[in-house]
Structure 1
Amino acid sequence: MAELIVQAGWVVTGIKDRDTPVIVENGAVLSRDGVIVAVGPVEEMQRTAPEAELRRYPGHVMLPGFVNSHHHVGLTPLQLGSPDYALELWFASRLPARRLDLTLDTLYSAFEMVASGITTVQHIQGWMAGGFGAIHASATKTLNGYRSLGMRASYCYAVREQNRLVYEADEAFCARLPVDLGEQLAAHLKAQAMPFSDFLRLFDQLREENAGQRLTRIQLAPANLHWCTDEGLVALNEKSRSAGVPMHMHLLETAYQKEYARRRTGKTALRHLHDLGVLGPHMTLGHGVWLNAEDIDIVAQTGTCICHNCSSNFRLRSGLAPLNAWEKKGITVGMGLDEAGINDDRDMLQELRLALRVHRVPGMDDDDVPTPSQVVKMATESGAMTTAFGAEIGRLDPGRFFDASLIDWRRATYPFQDPDIPVLDALVQRAKTECVDAVYIDGELVYAEGRFTRIDRDAVLAEIADVLGRPRSPEEVARRELGRAVFPHVKAFYADYLPAAPGNPFYAGSSMR
């Protein structure tokens, strides 16, 4: 059995409450075969395991590995030519995106995630053409990509049954277009279609193939209300419960999705899901920006989780999620970087600060705004509960996998930090990606002093640059022409979609009078 002791100046094992981290000063973690055995003073760990290898980081803070609870792609949409439109237009703008081998694409964003202290990702794949065989091959490449780097991934393939481009049936929207354009778009959308039974077969096959894997697990993803039928949602919920795996579902990301739910069901999207019986601790709602007060009560009562995607909500004009209201209700909230963070990368340290800052509503009561400990819990323990790994990750506690990042305190705080500011508070507000010195996943050192231990990052990036530096293929040229032709029709579809009456926001940040 491989035993390892990793010592640090401060070991943050987890978060006790929104104001209190649990910190062991001059502490150490003892792991055996990648699982934590004990945490405490280094001398005690050495007495427990005298033959264990000892690695010292006396000037570092050790944190549980971060969990990116909502992720989709490697190279970002902006890199591939899609500006930050409103979400519904953004989908259309992404039709021309270049194709890249999924091993390379997966590694690209995995490099960024691990370098910022992320050890586990919730990967939600989708938009693939070619049917079951091609999609299964794509999923396998993605999973192999994470495993080759040594990163942990909770994988799901998003189930889309309908309304693949706008919030109405594919056939109806294509009929709105000029005949030739409608036929081209219909063929493009049909290539992404797959029988519902094949979505379930894909889950079963991937789950069987991943049985016994330490780093990858499979879960389910009903993509969103507008993409799924009621029958599909109920069937996925039954599969989730019988297989004992969680689900992750985009919901109420935009005001347009709120209006779609009203038109389809005559009630809110959340109330509709509740009436279908698909909510509970096994369900995570991605975004949830447009949940109303009653919806939030239902989320809390059912134990349903939410993933907050702060950067994405800002970039795509989706709105400001009511994180403070979720916190007051005791809802389990994870943290997701979605397609990319505010700087078009995957920097969890920066995302922590963004969530910490943007929800600081006017007033003077500290209980009304997020705390550093709260956002760290979102990105660790709470995020873990939205994945198929659950309570096996997210804290540095005995029995959990040893996933941790070590942040150089001096580099983060140089030239000075007053000791009256608590360690975790200072770290959350000041540490940047370059301060992440080491990352352990499953007890293995996968990133150290800016380099990955398994894979040559520079070589992978050079290969990506070479592939995408070539001219577009004829298929890519045709999709670019299709995307540009379809875009104004998508915009016209939504021109009068929203009701005129404004809503009442949860946060009052300013006033016109």
Structure 2
Amino acid sequence: MSAQMNDCIILAGTALMGVNPAGEMQLRHDVAIRVHNGVIAQIGPERGMLGGNEHLPRYGGKDYIAMPGLVNSHHHFGITPLMAGVPFEPLEFWLPQFRAMRSVGHRLDTLYSAIEMLESGTTSVQHIASALIGGPDDWHGAADQVIDAYGEIGMRMGYSVMLRDQNILSYDSDTALLDSFPSHVRDWFAPRLHPKGGTPQAYVEFHSDLAKRHAANPHLRVNYAPANLHWCSDALLETIGGAAREAGAQVHMHLIETRRQAQYARERFGTSAVKHLDSLGFLGDHVTFGHCNWLEEGDAEVLAGCQCSVCHNASSGQRLGSGKAAVADLVARGIPVALGIDQSNIADDRDMLLEMKLAWALHRGTEMFNNRFDAAQTIRMATETGAKTLGYGGLTGRLECGQQADVVLMDRAKIERPFVDPRTPVSELILHRARKEAVEMVFVDGQVVVEHGKVTRVDREAVMAEIRDILSQPYTAAQEEALNMVTQAMPKIRAHYARFA
């Protein structure tokens, strides 16, 4: 990519620059943003950009609102479970059924969700691959395909993969549950629970090798994602924790998503999940916990003291009945909170503008006076704080000189149609009225990746058609077998979980 391709001027009638230390959204009006080599080099009046810059392409204008690119801080894969025939259920019954989902391949799957993200203004994503399958060569092959797909469409990413070494199907040893399966079902599941050669050291070597091979990619951060407390032994957590600190990598870990997970920690360790992780020396300002719906008394103080972040997945918690984090309390305590769409949002897509609305509304409370957070804080969760949790803190998430030019241009008329009083704060407009239809252009490093509301670097209709063609085919013998095995296993899985009800 040549420097010239990353040099441009972006014009806006109003620009949301970012939130100041007082929690207020900083605005600039009738502004021009000059981008050089993909970095915001100058911000000021358009007339100040004229001299010597006549050759630069210009985008936007006075009728547009500019803001930092949005960040989806918690994402897994593209084809949603609902699309694949898996209904919404409690998490513990939902996840095993993923084993019967059909695949369209890593490239198409990644491009599908990336199209939905980019066209709704999301420029960066924390991609958390669901599992390692096969051996190390397979791990690298899968990772490369995902990373290449994001590069193809032009997104910035953090790449991580859920690491597990115990309790894959339940909150205790899998042996008893497997033994309850019919023998042919047990024999199908058992070899598929763990990857080949999956040791803590092998996981560290995989991440290290992946980071080295992609070291020249400025749009990638290789992060660690220990799956959840019940899925990880203390030995695995300690190994990952040390490796992440040594590599300067971020850690993103699911934690106490459901009440049953909080119950597991209390029964297994005699304390909360957060306090157990603290006892391992696992916590730090590089650690983000996804969900945190069931924090216990004193947990928030521990997270604040260790400068951990939390990623709130509002749609996921509601659709699966998992619960919701006490986000207003976390924000009031100064804990950085990011937003993630998880598998998909309330409309079964990856529209962060919609996710922001739900996250704000869920935490209003019924009191006249409380510590509810406002539109500016919600936008910060979906921009600056999210960028930090991916490993791009200080590099993107704000519109200011020296940051990468990840910018969203929205058509103000579409947001205000038919009329909005000029007194209405722009941050309130973006939060409450902006929909993906208003997203006109999206830039990553100053390069146009969405124009007229559509991605520019891939043929979106061809991607959709190819996915439709693959999934419209009859089930293969292997797919039929997987569906049959999962169908036979589910009654045993439901019965096994009865004690956690």
The answer, yes or no, to whether TM exceeds 0.5 is yes
Query: Mind listing any 5+ residue stretches in structure 1 that lack a counterpart?
Result: 499-513
Percent pairwise identity: 37
Q: Deviations over 1:301-348 (max 9, x none)?
A: 110000000000001110121011101101001000000000000011
Question: Are the equivalent residues in 2 in contact too, given 1:17–1:374 (CA < 8 A)?
Answer: no
Task: Give the AA of the match of 2:100.
Answer: P
**Counterpart of 1:75?**
79
Q: Equivalent residues in 2 for 1:146-225 (5 A)?
A: 146-190=150-194, 194-225=198-229
Match of 2:434 among 431, 434, 445: 431
Q: Equivalent residues in 2 for 1:480-491 (5 A)?
A: 480-491=483-494
Question: Are the equivalent residues in 1 in contact too, given 2:132–2:162 (CA < 8 A)?
Answer: no
TM-superposed CA distance for 1:197, in Å, is 2.2
Q: Equivalent residues in 2 for 1:62-461 (5 A)?
A: 62-190=66-194, 194-365=198-369, 367-461=370-464
**Counterpart of 1:506?**
none
Q: Deviations over 1:98-137 (max 9, x none)?
A: 0211100000000000011000000000234222111211
Task: Give the AA of the match of 2:373.
Answer: P
Question: Are the equivalent residues in 2 in contact too, given 1:356–1:370 (CA < 8 A)?
Answer: yes
Question: Does the C-alpha gap of structure 1 residues 125 and 192 become closer, same or farther in structure 2, counting only changes over 3 Å?
Answer: farther
Task: Give the AA of the match of 1:266.
Answer: G
Query: 1:147 is paired with a residue of what secondary structure?
Result: helix
Output the CA distance in 2 between the equivalents of 1:233 and 1:195.
12
1:57 aligns with 2:61: yes
Match of 2:25 among 21, 27, 44: 21
Question: Are the equivalent residues in 2 in contact too, given 1:17–1:373 (CA < 8 A)?
Answer: no
**Counterpart of 1:466?**
469
Q: Which moved further from structure 2: 261-270 or 166-175? A: 166-175
Q: Which moved further from structure 2: 61-70 or 421-430? A: 421-430
Query: 2:394 is paired with a residue of what secondary structure?
Result: helix
Question: Are the equivalent residues in 1 in contact too, given 2:165–2:194 (CA < 8 A)?
Answer: no
Query: 2:442 is paired with a residue of what secondary structure?
Result: strand
Query: 1:120 is paired with a residue of what secondary structure?
Result: strand
Question: Does the C-alpha gap of structure 1 residues 143 and 416 become closer, same or farther in structure 2, counting only changes over 3 Å?
Answer: same
Output the CA distance in 1 between the equivalents of 2:192 and 2:481.
11
Task: Give the AA of the match of 1:151.
Answer: M
TM-superposed CA distance for 1:19, in Å, is 5.1
Output the CA distance in 1 between the equivalents of 2:159 and 2:257.
21
TM-superposed CA distance for 1:173, in Å, is 2.2
Query: 1:262 is paired with a residue of what secondary structure?
Result: helix
Output the CA distance in 2 between the equivalents of 1:125 and 1:435.
30
**Counterpart of 1:507?**
none
Output the CA distance in 1 between the equivalents of 2:457 and 2:400.
26
Output the CA distance in 1 between the equivalents of 2:81 and 2:87.
7
**Counterpart of 1:32?**
36
**Counterpart of 1:509?**
none
Output the CA distance in 2 between the equivalents of 1:192 and 1:378.
38
Output the CA distance in 2 between the equivalents of 1:273 and 1:44.
53
Question: Are the equivalent residues in 2 in contact too, given 1:11–1:28 (CA < 8 A)?
Answer: no
Query: 1:141 is paired with a residue of what secondary structure?
Result: helix
Query: 1:198 is paired with a residue of what secondary structure?
Result: helix
Q: Which moved further from structure 2: 44-53 or 486-495? A: 44-53
RMSD: 1.5
Task: Give the AA of the match of 1:422.
Answer: P
**Counterpart of 2:496?**
493
Output the CA distance in 1 between the equivalents of 2:22 and 2:497.
41
Query: 1:11 is paired with a residue of what secondary structure?
Result: strand
Output the CA distance in 2 between the equivalents of 1:383 and 1:191.
30
Output the CA distance in 2 between the equivalents of 1:375 and 1:496.
38
TM-superposed CA distance for 1:48, in Å, is 7.5
TM-score, structure 1 as length reference = 0.94
Output the CA distance in 1 between the equivalents of 2:187 and 2:494.
19
Output the CA distance in 2 between the equivalents of 1:93 and 1:179.
19
Query: 1:467 is paired with a residue of what secondary structure?
Result: helix
Question: Are the equivalent residues in 2 in contact too, given 1:409–1:427 (CA < 8 A)?
Answer: no
Aligned residues: 497
Question: Does the C-alpha gap of structure 1 residues 460 and 169 become closer, same or farther in structure 2, counting only changes over 3 Å?
Answer: same
Question: Are the equivalent residues in 2 in contact too, given 1:439–1:445 (CA < 8 A)?
Answer: yes
Query: 1:146 is paired with a residue of what secondary structure?
Result: helix
Query: 2:50 is paired with a residue of what secondary structure?
Result: helix
Question: Are the equivalent residues in 1 in contact too, given 2:113–2:350 (CA < 8 A)?
Answer: yes
Q: Which moved further from structure 2: 335-344 or 175-184? A: 175-184
Output the CA distance in 1 between the equivalents of 2:297 and 2:402.
38
Query: 1:111 is paired with a residue of what secondary structure?
Result: helix
Task: Give the AA of the match of 1:421.
Answer: T
Q: Which moved further from structure 2: 181-190 or 388-397? A: 181-190
Question: Are the equivalent residues in 2 in contact too, given 1:334–1:382 (CA < 8 A)?
Answer: yes
Query: 1:199 is paired with a residue of what secondary structure?
Result: helix
Query: Mind listing any 5+ residue stretches in structure 2 that lack a counterpart?
Result: none
Task: Give the AA of the match of 1:231.
Answer: A
